[in-house]
Structure 1
Amino acid sequence: MTGISHQARGLVARAAERLRPGSGLPREAVELLEDEAFARELATMAEAQGSDVAAVRAEATSYLDEMAAEHGDRITEQWARLGAWFMRAYDIVVDEEQIQRLRQLDRQHSLGLAFSHRSYLDGFVIPNVLGARRFSPTFVFGGANLNLPVFGALASRTGMIFIRRKTTDLPVYRLTLRSYIRQLVANRSNLAWSIEGGRTRTGKLRPPVHGILKYLVDAVEGPGSPDAQVVPISIVYDQLHEVAGMTAEARGARKRPEDLRFVFSFARLQRNRMGRAYLTVGEPFSLRERLDELHADGLTSQQAIERVALDISHRLNRATPVTVTAIVSLALLGADRALTMDEVLATVEPLAVYIDEREWPVAGAANLQDRATVRRALQELSVSGVLRQHDGGTEPVWTILEDQHLVAAFYRNTVIHILVDRAIGELALLTVAELDADAELPPGGTAQVGWDEAKRIRDLLKFEFFFPARAQFEQELRTELRILAGEDLLDLTSERAADLLARARPHLAHLVLRPFLDAYLVLADRLAEQGDAQIDDESLLADALAVGQQWQLQRKVGSAESVSLELYRTALALARHRGLLEPGPELATRREAFLAEIQDSLRRVAVIADLAVAAQPHVAVPDPSKVAR
């Protein structure tokens, strides 16, 4: 156990001695094996498989022995101390008023705590925060890859349920897991799981996975079933030691296996202070009531599960606070050069005003325009090796180190969801501003042109961000444009659109959208290069990564953050959705059209970037009539 303190080694050893091999299954597992409904389900499955009932029951029992967890008082106490030791790089910040409201729910309901997943530390944060405040014991779901010797045995005695990722060929396993979750909910236990399935590699939420949620839905549906309150839990960090490894994987490095050596190395990293970790509680909702609403709207069970998953993701984004680290990273990524303190503050100021107008939460209630607060974030990023601080001139300047753009982008992306609608609104205004005087307009006039462009961008990025339904998206976009214009835009002319864009503060399209569109451009280019040939996914991704690295060196893409396998995979998903990967009529032509669409979107983003430069202090504002022409 090299690298772990003597205190921690002793803690692990003492806890391991308390494990009681052969002591039997936890209470919920025993109750499930005694349940007549579960026995009938096993018998039905045995008949369907042509198997012996006893053999199927034995198989289910072995799976229960593998996954079932419990809360041993002494082990849980020791584990909490170990978790605090792992978390020693951070101060944990929670909103106690939110926690008190959650305790009221905890007294009457089973809580389904769906959390955002940015770090392996998340599995310590939630149990420690809730346990210290005397919540009902929480069962946390984790991947079977983390069920390591000693540590896995300890964790399962503290409520950690280890589950397998791939269970397609294991019907008895799936039935057992579903039934076990049903039993936990019936006992009004609290369950916590990552709605993303695994850690984000980019800093923003990944698409939700439906496995645990589907089983939770099964547990609350049907007459006499208990309800559960779904509670989105956002966990965000000022900085993370893990980001360097994740960004290396985004550049093609092989993922390091989670073994004991990895655990010890990870624990050793936590010696270095990294600031704060913020746990924020999103808006809870009754799972049964939401399902009833969706079924009343005619949705199937699968469609309802997908909608609930998106509901959770939206609420998670809404609960995620803006960190000073994220805003500083956004400013430096946008500048792509060294900035003085005054220049950083000048860039942050309009962003801070916008965040305040939109009433987005700020982590720790920090003042984003406070000089000392921003300086501290710059210095902390410099100490961790993300930024370089140069003090040799007339005043200090900060810049992102050459190989740290993806790390800075990770921190920026933790809040990028709050900026997307505004960025799309800017492109919609630009489309109107670029209309020729004699252009043929749709029935809705110039405003309809803008809405159509906004919906096109939304469709282009729908695998990247969580957008609400179209009606709500349009309403939110109207709110963004009202903030930008200071009034409702009811009768929008090209000249008015150009004037609004020229005078907008801040300009966001180039800061928010360009990295993603640059990545899409690379993949679309490699796809178009193949004509109508069928393409292997992995070969296409490898080709995109190689060409992306080349284009970065040639400055054909805006920055290194767009050279990422994670972003290429999202672009690949979009291409597949549009039918560009399988043989079909005019495939080569459609691939070329896909490339042209992204090229034109990037051209418009570049126009916004030019306007942003013109809007900086001491730079003359261009003639609005010539902005977009």
Structure 2
Amino acid sequence: MNLEDIYNTKNPWPQRGSQQVLFILDVRNDTEESILRGWIHHFGDQDNKSFEAPQVCIDLKDERTGFDSGQLVMSLALPADTLIAPLRVVWTPGGNGTTSLGRLRHLILGDPRRPSNRRGKKVLEEHPDRVHVIAGQPDTMANLRQRFEATNTVTDESAQEGFANFVARQAAVVLDISERHVKGGRYKVPRHVSAAIMANSDYNKEVQKLAEAQGKTKEALMKEAATYMKEMVSTPSSFWLDIYARFNTFCLGLGYEEDIVYNKAAVEKMRQVVRSNPSILLWTHKTYLDGMVVPKVMYDNDFPMPHMFGGANLNFPGLGHLLHRAGAIFIKRSFQDNELYKLTLRYYIGYLMEKRFPMNWAFEGTRSRMGKLMPPRYGLLKYVLEACHTTNAENIHIIPISISYDIIRDVEEYATEQTGRGKGAESLKWFIGYVRSLARPMGKVYMDIGEPVVLPKAPEPDDKLALSKIAFEVAVEANEVTPITFPSLVTMSLLGAAPKALTEDEVIEDLRSLLAWSESRNLRISHDFNRAFADQMEGLLGIMIDENIVTRYDEGPEVVYGISLEQHPVASYYRNTVIHFFVNKAIIELALIKASEQAEDCALAVFWKEVDDIRDLFKFEFFYAPTEEFHQQIRQEMARYSNDWEELLGQGAAGFGTMLQKMSPLVAHVTLLTYTEAYSVVASMLARKEANESLEQANCISEALTYGRQAYLQRRISSESSIGKLLFKNGYQMLKSRSLTEGGMESLKEERLELARELRELLRRIDLIRAVGVANRSSSP
């Protein structure tokens, strides 16, 4: 291949009649300029052009220094029908394409797709197949000016320069579109964002209003806004996206299997959604690695890199530099009183959504320290939807993504944090240590994509109820697509039997029972869940045994498995990842026991009251369907065991026994015991106080941590997994919702005591379920 072969790939001259053509050459050095001028002349000579088209050289790729648009300003004084045609040289890497990019040597030698003048000449001589010439979609001067004046602030002093910068930005956009046909869709990135926002007429009007309200000049606020944009606006590029992709692959590959488990068809479906609609990807948050999983899957599938909101705790030297250049948006921790900052952030988000750059962040706003989905924080979702409201965005798609792991390195740290021990601050030194700690086998990573929650339009900014409903829908869908994995079922089985250990046959029987129950209800089960686990128990349990989550004893006549008491907090984490699937069944079991102990003529009413009471008791722990739908779910579950279940309830203990025999596996003791014990701790602690004593949340958590430890030593609670800050925090919310935390009249003392008694009664029924489950299990001789 030679230069003539490169030129013949496409004609740079746009189709025209008598219209003048202005070429904008996006060049960084003499080599690129020479190639593009040669391309123009190559076809100009062939067609015997009667005039030489003007050519303006400008570097459109440098985001930091802005444009040197002086030459372009002069060239734009051409007739309105002049066609503006942007051209660019694209350099592709040698070797195996993207697999050869992002290596350490490129940090030292530079991006092979942006060669220096000297290296470019060498590549052109030795590897001309790596050189491509592209043309962006041309447009007329008149069309560009009309679009400029419709969306940009125009003043006499800066009109020509502003228009020139607008033309340059549009040239960069159309060239990027053409370039992605050569390089791939993963390199779609926003360009010159700050300049576009600063020139936006609506933004300028709002800054002017703010300046008048604050008694400042608009120029002063625009200067201040520029500093905010420098902080928050991410500047992703092909080079840093490659570096980040290799970094993610390296970190995840230290402990996890190479291939992330996901559905390719679901990723393709998401691609179509994101391409056509303003989109938000919200993923469940369990570990620092979550932020690497989505980008890796997106990059591997040639998907445009979503912009990620990053916690300020990760914006430290080294990692912060990389993330900012790979799409991360770091925003201030608190800016409620900074109207200019909020305005600027809103327009930045609006710009990204309007241009179809998807946003993504951790849905809950904090890592789950307990395995289950955390209550969401609305801050980021609120700001993004406000931006959508400002830009009149339609058909906003919020896509829930569940990220799961066989084993998580952070869980032991979470367990100790929940006992009250603080965590260290993030830093470069901390991060290096964290990455090193990943180098141990931890199984697989799973990414599951839920059905989008679609908003025809964004709600009004002050509509808190609409925001909470949207977040609830996303949470429910995220839970629905969280897969059941082997570690989640193993820990569920062994914690249900604790403190007793189980033989291998008993574990297999439990797993088959739990899996059959899950499959009959069409629950999401990991795509690669091996149903032949009975043939390879040692291999499947090996990692969990090595991590001391599961204990294996093989010195007796049979091999037995169990979970030691000190490992209950860790094991509970893995069980909790799927606990939401079993909550309704647990509520049914406990309500059935209470109904069976009542007079036969009121058993059904007692059953439904207890169903609703337990649902309300744990409303700060789990996401339920709306009341009517929830009741229908309960009816459907009961009908699976007997179509005559309402009549059986009226038969008292006999009917209860008939129902319970059909309800294997029993799950109330393994699903709700931890939460009931934790709530019992805070309720008993509060019952000790005088009626006129109030209880604040911080004091509640502090006192409960010490009181809970005492209760465990006295074996009034079964394990340390029931002692934790998050459990006690939600327990306090439950007390507060029942108006029991504020001191009051003497009657309050009895109300507090009554709640403590109700929780002890609930624990009694949970123990009964456990006893029935043990009795039903077939034991080995």
TM-score by length of 2: 0.73
- Give the alignment partner of residue 248 of structure 2, picking from 83, 93, 107: 83
- What residue in structure 1 maps to residue 762 of structure 2? 601
- What residue in structure 1 maps to residue 479 of structure 2? 317
Q: Aligned AA for 1:307?
A: K
Secondary structure of 1:507's counterpart equals coil
Asked if the contact 2:354/2:391 (under 8 Å) is kept, the reply is no
- What residue in structure 2 maps to residue 489 of structure 1? 645
Q: Does 1:458 align with 2:615?
A: yes
Q: What is the CA-CA distance between 1:467 and the residue it aligns to?
A: 0.9
Residue pairs, 1:257-268, within 5 angstroms: 257-268=425-436
Asked if the contact 2:681/2:708 (under 8 Å) is kept, the reply is yes
Q: What is the CA-CA distance between 1:517 and the residue it aligns to?
A: 0.4
Q: What is the CA-CA distance between 1:301 and the residue it aligns to?
A: 2.0
Q: Does 1:376 align with 2:564?
A: no
What are the Cα deviations for residues 255-288 of structure 1, in whole angstroms up to 9, with x where unaligned? 1211111110111012112110000000113222
Taking a change above 3 Å as real, the CA distance of residues 12 and 240 of structure 1, as seen in their structure-2 partners, is farther
In structure 1, what is the Cα distance between the partners aligned to 2:622 and 2:360?
A: 23
Asked if the contact 1:366/1:373 (under 8 Å) is kept, the reply is no
| 143-152 vs 26-35, greater mean Cα deviation | 26-35
Name structure 1 gaps, 5 residues minimum: 1-6, 620-629
Residue pairs, 1:98-113, within 5 angstroms: 98-113=266-281
- What residue in structure 2 maps to residue 583 of structure 1? 743
Greater relative CO (CA pairs within 8 A, separation 6+): 1
Asked if the contact 1:528/1:592 (under 8 Å) is kept, the reply is yes
- Give the alignment partner of residue 518 of structure 1, picking from 654, 677, 681: 677
- Give the alignment partner of residue 560 of structure 1, picking from 701, 711, 720: 720
- What residue in structure 2 maps to residue 69 of structure 1? 234
In structure 2, what is the Cα distance between the partners aligned to 1:574 and 1:29?
A: 46
In structure 2, what is the Cα distance between the partners aligned to 1:373 and 1:104?
A: 40
Q: What is the CA-CA distance between 1:503 and the residue it aligns to?
A: 4.2
In structure 1, what is the Cα distance between the partners aligned to 2:741 and 2:684?
A: 13
- What residue in structure 2 maps to residue 36 of structure 1? 201
Q: Aligned AA for 1:112?
A: I
Secondary structure of 2:209's counterpart equals helix
Secondary structure of 1:353's counterpart equals helix
Q: What is the CA-CA distance between 1:150 and the residue it aligns to?
A: 2.1
- What residue in structure 1 maps to residue 466 of structure 2? 304
In structure 1, what is the Cα distance between the partners aligned to 2:733 and 2:545?
A: 36
- What residue in structure 2 maps to residue 623 of structure 1? none
In structure 1, what is the Cα distance between the partners aligned to 2:596 and 2:106?
A: 66
- What residue in structure 2 maps to residue 183 of structure 1? 351
- What residue in structure 1 maps to residue 413 of structure 2? 245
In structure 1, what is the Cα distance between the partners aligned to 2:394 and 2:426?
A: 37
- What residue in structure 2 maps to residue 624 of structure 1? none
Secondary structure of 2:456's counterpart equals helix
Secondary structure of 2:261's counterpart equals strand
In structure 2, what is the Cα distance between the partners aligned to 1:227 and 1:555?
A: 54
TM-score by length of 1: 0.89
In structure 1, what is the Cα distance between the partners aligned to 2:108 and 2:474?
A: 39
| 506-515 vs 102-111, greater mean Cα deviation | 102-111
In structure 1, what is the Cα distance between the partners aligned to 2:108 and 2:215?
A: 46
| 359-368 vs 245-254, greater mean Cα deviation | 359-368
| 471-480 vs 415-424, greater mean Cα deviation | 471-480
Q: Aligned AA for 1:232?
A: P
- What residue in structure 2 maps to residue 543 of structure 1? 703
Taking a change above 3 Å as real, the CA distance of residues 33 and 547 of structure 1, as seen in their structure-2 partners, is same
Taking a change above 3 Å as real, the CA distance of residues 368 and 605 of structure 1, as seen in their structure-2 partners, is farther
Asked if the contact 1:217/1:287 (under 8 Å) is kept, the reply is no
Q: Does 1:329 align with 2:491?
A: yes
Secondary structure of 1:487's counterpart equals coil
What's the % identity of the aligned pairs?
Answer: 32
- What residue in structure 1 maps to residue 628 of structure 2? 471
Taking a change above 3 Å as real, the CA distance of residues 579 and 10 of structure 1, as seen in their structure-2 partners, is farther
Asked if the contact 2:307/2:358 (under 8 Å) is kept, the reply is yes
Asked if the contact 1:345/1:369 (under 8 Å) is kept, the reply is no
In structure 1, what is the Cα distance between the partners aligned to 2:644 and 2:256?
A: 44
Taking a change above 3 Å as real, the CA distance of residues 66 and 366 of structure 1, as seen in their structure-2 partners, is same
Q: Aligned AA for 2:643?
A: E
Q: What is the CA-CA distance between 1:232 and the residue it aligns to?
A: 0.5
- Give the alignment partner of residue 162 of structure 1, picking from 330, 338, 347: 330
Taking a change above 3 Å as real, the CA distance of residues 227 and 136 of structure 1, as seen in their structure-2 partners, is farther
In structure 1, what is the Cα distance between the partners aligned to 2:725 and 2:778?
A: 37
Taking a change above 3 Å as real, the CA distance of residues 175 and 366 of structure 1, as seen in their structure-2 partners, is same
Q: What is the CA-CA distance between 1:234 and the residue it aligns to?
A: 0.4
Asked if the contact 1:282/1:316 (under 8 Å) is kept, the reply is yes
Q: Aligned AA for 1:184?
A: L
- What residue in structure 2 maps to residue 148 of structure 1? 316
In structure 1, what is the Cα distance between the partners aligned to 2:203 and 2:778?
A: 70
Name structure 2 gaps, 5 residues minimum: 1-101, 115-168, 170-189
Q: What is the CA-CA distance between 1:618 and the residue it aligns to?
A: 5.5
In structure 2, what is the Cα distance between the partners aligned to 1:592 and 1:40?
A: 60
Asked if the contact 2:373/2:475 (under 8 Å) is kept, the reply is yes
Asked if the contact 2:417/2:423 (under 8 Å) is kept, the reply is yes
How many residues in Structure 1 have an aligned counterpart in Structure 2? 596
In structure 2, what is the Cα distance between the partners aligned to 1:148 and 1:618?
A: 56
Q: What is the CA-CA distance between 1:93 and the residue it aligns to?
A: 0.9
Asked if the contact 1:106/1:136 (under 8 Å) is kept, the reply is no
Taking a change above 3 Å as real, the CA distance of residues 223 and 241 of structure 1, as seen in their structure-2 partners, is closer
Secondary structure of 2:369's counterpart equals coil
Secondary structure of 1:158's counterpart equals coil
What are the Cα deviations for residues 266-317 of structure 1, in whole angstroms up to 9, with x where unaligned? 110121121100000001132226x68xx9xxx9721111100000000000
Taking a change above 3 Å as real, the CA distance of residues 410 and 101 of structure 1, as seen in their structure-2 partners, is same
- CA RMSD in angstroms comes to 2.6
Asked if the contact 2:371/2:576 (under 8 Å) is kept, the reply is yes
Taking a change above 3 Å as real, the CA distance of residues 30 and 591 of structure 1, as seen in their structure-2 partners, is farther
Point out the structure with max Rg over C-alpha: 2
| 157-166 vs 485-494, greater mean Cα deviation | 485-494
Asked if the contact 1:429/1:498 (under 8 Å) is kept, the reply is no
Taking a change above 3 Å as real, the CA distance of residues 594 and 236 of structure 1, as seen in their structure-2 partners, is same
What are the Cα deviations for residues 538-578 of structure 1, in whole angstroms up to 9, with x where unaligned? 23212211121122222111222101111111101111222
Q: Aligned AA for 2:731?
A: A
- Give the alignment partner of residue 261 of structure 2, picking from 93, 98, 101: 93
In structure 1, what is the Cα distance between the partners aligned to 2:463 and 2:273?
A: 26
In structure 2, what is the Cα distance between the partners aligned to 1:589 and 1:229?
A: 50
Q: What is the CA-CA distance between 1:451 and the residue it aligns to?
A: 1.5
- Give the alignment partner of residue 209 of structure 1, picking from 377, 402, 412: 377
Asked if the contact 1:368/1:374 (under 8 Å) is kept, the reply is no
Asked if the contact 2:503/2:559 (under 8 Å) is kept, the reply is yes
- What residue in structure 2 maps to residue 627 of structure 1? none
| 189-198 vs 358-367, greater mean Cα deviation | 358-367
| 585-594 vs 206-215, greater mean Cα deviation | 585-594
What are the Cα deviations for residues 241-263 of structure 1, in whole angstroms up to 9, with x where unaligned? 11111111011111121111111
- What residue in structure 1 maps to residue 592 of structure 2? 429
Taking a change above 3 Å as real, the CA distance of residues 8 and 248 of structure 1, as seen in their structure-2 partners, is farther
Asked if the contact 2:584/2:634 (under 8 Å) is kept, the reply is yes
Taking a change above 3 Å as real, the CA distance of residues 571 and 360 of structure 1, as seen in their structure-2 partners, is same
Q: What is the CA-CA distance between 1:448 and the residue it aligns to?
A: 2.8
In structure 2, what is the Cα distance between the partners aligned to 1:395 and 1:551?
A: 34
| 371-380 vs 419-428, greater mean Cα deviation | 371-380
Q: What is the CA-CA distance between 1:165 and the residue it aligns to?
A: 3.1
